Amino acid sequence: MITFTILYAFLIISVLFNALGVIGLHRFPDVYTRLHAATKCTTFGTIFMTFAVIVYSGYMYYWNPGQDHYLNMALHTVGALVAILVTNPTGAHAIARAAHKVGIKPKFAVIDELEKKEAK
């Protein structure tokens, strides 16, 4: 019972942060701040979603010891978690760098040291 409480808590957190990511995607003014909302809240939400899957499959494997596919699912989810943690920041960095290279200025920026460096 407590397992399913934890599981639902993970799912609620993940859906909440994914929803906040979508709201931020619409509210923020330019590409960089939108990247914050889109990648960050989605990462956090997705991490908790994988946690929920791991908890669920570990619980099912504990109570059904013969059924190996639950263990398999948990391990593959750990692999997916590692892949998300490596690829998500790399992709965000690539988009931000490309945007700055083609000359999109950050809106409402109080400081832009990268532009100062490129101007030199």
Partner 1 sequence: MKRSKAFISTFLFALFVYLFMTLAAGQSMVEGTILWSIEELVLGISVALIVGAVASSILCRSDDYRMLNPVRWIIMLVYTIPLFIEMVKANFDVAYRVITGDIKPGIVKITPDLKTDLGVTFLANSITLTPGTLTVDVDDEKSELYIHWINVGDEPTQTISGRFVPWIRRFAE
**Residues at the site binding partner 1, with contacts judged by CB under 8 A:** 17, 20-21, 23-24, 27-28, 30, 32-33, 35-37, 39-41, 43-44, 68-69, 71-72, 75-76, 79, 85-86, 88-90, 92-93, 96-97, 100, 106-115, 117
CB of 103 to partner 1, least distance (A): 13
Whichever of 1 and 92 has its CB closer to partner 1, that residue is 92
How far is residue 24 from each of residues 10, 15, 61, 74, 117, measured CA to CA in Å?
21, 14, 38, 31, 30
Question: Which one-letter DSSP state was computed for residue 49?
Answer: H
Answer yes or no: are the C-beta atoms of 35 and 96 closer than 8 Å. yes
Whichever of 1 and 34 has its CB closer to partner 1, that residue is 34
What is the rounded CA–CA span in Å between residue 111 and residue 69?
52
Closest CA to 40 of 26, 53, 29, 25: 25
What is the rounded CA–CA span in Å between residue 4 and residue 10?
10
CB of 2 to partner 1, least distance (A): 22
CB of 92 to partner 1, least distance (A): 5
Whichever of 1 and 73 has its CB closer to partner 1, that residue is 73
Whichever of 1 and 102 has its CB closer to partner 1, that residue is 102
